[in-house]
Amino acid sequence: MKLNKYLQSMLYHWPAKVISLVFAVCIYLFIQYSTIGSRVVTIPLDVQLPSAYVASSLVPNSVEVQIRGNDDIIYLIDPNSIKASIDFSFVKREGIANAPVLLVYEENVFESGGISISANPSQYRILFTLQGVK
């Protein structure tokens, strides 16, 4: 009999309870996403080129990194703790090669969670020719 009483109290005015729950979730999500910001920093890019080939196109020396997360935290992150590299040492023939930008950072920098980093552009294309041939 008590179970029936609890079930009745839960189902009593159920549309109002469901609407209240939906509004509460919407308010929570709005507050969470309104405090998310973005910061763009430019950091040096370490490029490893193949020894047998020469880059005929522009080799980048820096990359833009976007740091996304809580506005209070993203400006506390030191851009020097993020290292960017790109490795073209796998190139075995002439032509255009693609390689992704790899971002490495100190683990304790992003302990707070909710922070993401991404490189812009996320990969580079470079034209390689044999050494001595242009």
Supply the Cα-derived Rg of the chain in whole angstroms: 26
Q: What percent of the chain has pLDDT over 90?
A: 17
The topology (CATH level 3) of 38-130 is RNA Polymerase Alpha Subunit; Chain A, domain 2 (2.170.120)
Element (H, E) at 10: helix 2-11
pLDDT digits (tens, 9 = 90+) for 37-82: 888 999 999 988 888 888 888 888 999 999 888 777 888 888 888 8
Residue ranges covered by each domain of the chain? 1-34, 38-130
Helix %, strand %, coil % for the chain, to 5?
Answer: 30, 40, 30
pLDDT digits (tens, 9 = 90+) for 70-123: 777 888 888 888 899 998 888 888 888 889 999 888 766 555 567 888 898 989
Q: What CA–CA distance (Å, rounded) separates 37 from 78?
A: 16
Position 1 pLDDT exceeds 60: no
Position 35 pLDDT exceeds 80: no
Mean pLDDT of the chain: 83
The whole-number pLDDT of residue 22 equals: 94
